[in-house]
Structure 1
Amino acid sequence: MYEPIYYTATSLLIFNKQRVLKRIKCPFRVIPVKDEGGISQSDIYFVNRVYPSEEHRLIYEIEGKKYPYNTFKIVLQEDK
């Protein structure tokens, strides 16, 4: 799983599998870690915005709803 190391409202900085720093901009693709709260693990979702949170490190806005970032895995083109 890619762990965000820095964020803005519309992007994340992550290390990819090759340990190269990469900025991904919204909307970026994610898949749920498990089926929960109306989201399906078999579907791909798009993060439209990123928010800070005291309870969870980050919050992703997906389809107008907010979810903790760690309930999703980021999908990059290089993952294919």
Structure 2
Amino acid sequence: MRETDESIPTPNADGLTKRERLHWHLTSALASAESPETKAHLRGALVEYRKLPPTPLVECPFCGKVGLPERIQAHECQRP
């Protein structure tokens, strides 16, 4: 976990995709929310999150590994 400028502990960016981090933030906020209105908004945000289209997989042009764009960009390429 690392600290943001708001001092909220968040998962390390290297371990999760942006979508996974968004889901983590929404579910964590819902778990800690006290106001019924806030909980309703967060549940609505989670519903919309689940409706997002899937992230397309990409292939590394050098080694052929397939995965999420941000993971392929950061992978240790094993060029043939």
For normalisation by structure 2, the TM-score amounts to: 0.23
More strand by share: 1
Q: Which structure has the larger Rg?
A: 2
More helix by share: 2
For normalisation by structure 1, the TM-score amounts to: 0.23
Larger relative contact order (C-alpha < 8 A, sep ≥ 6)? 1
